[in-house]
Amino acid sequence: MGVQAVIFDWGGTLTPWHDLELADMWRAICSAHLPTDDVEKAATALADAELELWRRGTDEHRSATLAEAFEMAGIQPTEELLATHFETWTPHTHTDPAVPGLFTTLREQGIRIGVLSNTIWSREWHERVFARDDVLDMLDGAVYSSEIPWTKPHAGAFRAAMDAVGATDPASCVFVGDRPYDDIHGAKSAGLRAVQIRHQTTHAFERPGLAPPDAVIHGLDELLPHIERWI
């Protein structure tokens, strides 16, 4: 059976986990462009909209886009506002330093590398991040939920990621993620192996009756021994 592909979650997996308040992020974004008296109302509306889209993704497995968040909040997403959004999030999007070496080793072993992320961001924004961190060319394929109908843990999302990297057998694919439900239970239910990367807030996403991971790591530098065990 071996390992044909390793597919990674993005936030909290390929990027270190950051514990952030959405309202604070939106407040910083809005304050750069809106009149002072309008900032709090706009930031609250945008945070509420984004939280509702994330709830929908978790409970109904339906995808969403950043444009939907602005529409729900009743705010026009100008180019300037979008640029500030990307810049405000930039400190929290840097790729884990272990990734380039990990990807290089996987590629040397003939293993394909993919990304499957629950996100409201566009492909262009994610690729800008990966290109900035010199790992974009190391990906064999990527799927962002903003461009498909589903979010993880829907099996369709995992099948789309397998298609993106040219993998045909879920049993020969490994998914690496941090969330017990979206990532681990979803991958296992779709027939993939699953490795959970645990950080300090992982417990917040636990729920009863979930499929357990095939392996648990605390950093990406611990992943390779598990992959080599399954090759």
- The DSSP result for 199-229, as a single string, is -TTGGGG--TTPPPPSEEESSGGGSHHHHHH
182 lies in the same domain as 199: yes
Q: Is 122 in the same domain as 189?
A: yes
Nearest Cα to Cα of residue 196 among 114, 204, 182, 111: 182
Beta-ladder partners of 197: 217
Structural domain tally of the chain?
2
**Judgement on whether residues 199 and 107 belong to the same structural domain of the protein:** yes
Domain identity same for 70 and 146: no
**pTM score, two decimals?**
0.95
CB 48 within 8 A of CB 73: yes
Longest alpha-carbon distance in the chain: 61
Task: Specify whether 146 is located in the same domain as 174.
Answer: yes
Residue 1: what pLDDT?
62
Question: Same structural domain for residues 26 and 138?
Answer: no
Q: Give me the domain span that covers residue 140.
A: 5-16+94-230
Pull the structure tokens for residue 139: 């990906």
What DSSP character marks residue 42?
H
Residue ending a domain, choose from 91, 117, 145: 91
The verdict on 99 and 179 lying in the same domain is yes
Whether 115 and 80 map to the same domain: the answer is no
The confidence score (pLDDT) of residue 43 equals 96
Same domain, 61 and 159: no
The domain boundary residue, chosen from 38, 71, 91: 91
Whether 111 and 182 share a structural domain: yes
Residues 183 and 214 in one domain: yes
Regarding whether 160 and 82 lie in a shared domain, the answer is: no
Which of 44, 63, 91 is the last residue before a domain boundary? Answer: 91
Residues 180, 206 contacting (CB under 8 angstroms)? yes
Successive 10-residue mean pLDDT values, the chain, 231 residues: 93 89 94 93 97 95 97 95 96 96 97 98 97 98 98 97 97 96 96 92 71 95 96 88
